[in-house]
Amino acid sequence: MKHRKLGTSDLHISVIGLGCNNFGFVANMDVAASRKVIDQAIDSGVNFLDTSDSYGTSENILGEVLGERRKKIVLATKFGSRQNALGEKSGNSRGYILAEAEESLRRLRTDWIDLYQIHYPDPKTPIEETLRALDDVVKSGKVRYIGCSNFSAVQLEEAEQTAKKHHLTKLVSSQDEFSLLAHDIKSDRLPLIEAHGMSELPYFPLASGMLTGKHKRGQPAAKGTRLAEKPFLAERYLHDANHAKVERLEKFARDRGHTLLELAFGWLLSHQVVASVIAGATKPEQIEANAKAGEWELSKEELAEVDRITGAASQAA
């Protein structure tokens, strides 16, 4: 498994990471099922595990399963999207951050978090307040580095300039939806992320399952898949334009002796600003496939053709 440096940090993470939202959350996996996936990930060379305080019991499961192996893992979690009894997001206030960092440490059974990420922007809380709180948890030794997720280009720039102005800890990474079918960040956020010395951490690299090849044109979403269970995602992804792109991408990969999965991950990793592709799994065999998928290094000609197929050619490289 190859590794890449995470932004300006001293962390080197596997180019394929493990998204842990299936553990006790999306797929309602129990400890035993989660343990098999986590064990396979570590055995396959995956050292980057990403979770959140909002992923149900995911943090608790990781805390129980990792044990002494936690020292070899780059452990990332997020805050800011948990909801109270009224269904309101808790946001990114100082009080919430200081309290929730302690809670995540307790659930994860660890003394430090390698990467603590703002899950969503909070329009009610000034970014300076958020960054000052994060600066304090970094200085306390409870968090090593900080990142963000789902920020717009304007919000990324504001965070960068605020940290510079007040000499606060800077963000080292941005986690965003990024795939062959969702690549809007190429035109605005990706250049900013690179310019500020940050790394990109793509989530939904398979476009919620569209890039698995399971979904066929003119047919309902494959049974048991995310698109079958979440109508709002199906409405977003299951349309003729995407089916046409997937069919062409499948042929492109097949003609070169590769799978669609390998193309999806290889294309993302062709962007050097991408440090690790965050991929979820519910079975150990999926981990093996994901780990292998990071090995295809596409040529310039291949990249140009893929970008033409997906429409990414019209966006900034």
| DSSP output for 146-213 | EEEES--HHHHHHHHHHHHHHT-PPEEEEEEE-BTTB-GGGTTHHHHHHHTT-EEEEE-TTGGGGGGT
Q: What is the pLDDT of residue 193?
A: 98
- Show which residues are catalytic: 55
pLDDT for 171 beyond 80: yes
User: Does residue 220 lie in a domain region?
Assistant: no
User: Does residue 262 lie in a domain region?
Assistant: no
User: Does residue 8 lie in a domain region?
Assistant: yes
User: What's the CA gap between 271 and 233, in Å, rounded?
Assistant: 26
Q: What is the pLDDT of residues 242-283, one digit of tens each?
A: 889 999 999 999 999 999 999 999 999 999 999 999 999 999
* Total number of domains in the chain: 1
User: Does residue 245 lie in a domain region?
Assistant: no
User: Does residue 251 lie in a domain region?
Assistant: no
User: Does residue 313 lie in a domain region?
Assistant: no
Q: What is the pLDDT of residue 230?
A: 74
CATH number, domain containing residue 286:
3.20.20.100
Q: 282 exposed, middle or buried (CB, 10 Å; 0-12, 13-18, 19+)?
A: middle
pLDDT for 198 beyond 80: yes
Q: Which of 58-67, 74-83, 225-234, 301-310 has the lowest mean pLDDT?
A: 225-234
Q: Which residues contact 301 (CB under 8 A, 6 or more apart)?
A: none
Cβ atoms 316, 57 nearer than 8 A:
no
With vertex at residue 273, the alpha carbon angle to CA 277 and CA 166, rounded to the nearest 5 degrees, is 110
Q: What is the pLDDT of residue 317?
A: 46
pTM: predicted TM-score of the whole model, two decimal places: 0.94
pLDDT for 87 beyond 70: no
Q: Tell me which DSSP letter residue 27 carries.
A: S
With vertex at residue 239, the alpha carbon angle to CA 237 and CA 245, rounded to the nearest 5 degrees, is 85
User: Does residue 238 lie in a domain region?
Assistant: no
Backbone angles phi, psi at 128, to 5 degrees: -65, -40
Instruction: Give me the domain span that covers residue 289.
Output: 3-208+273-297
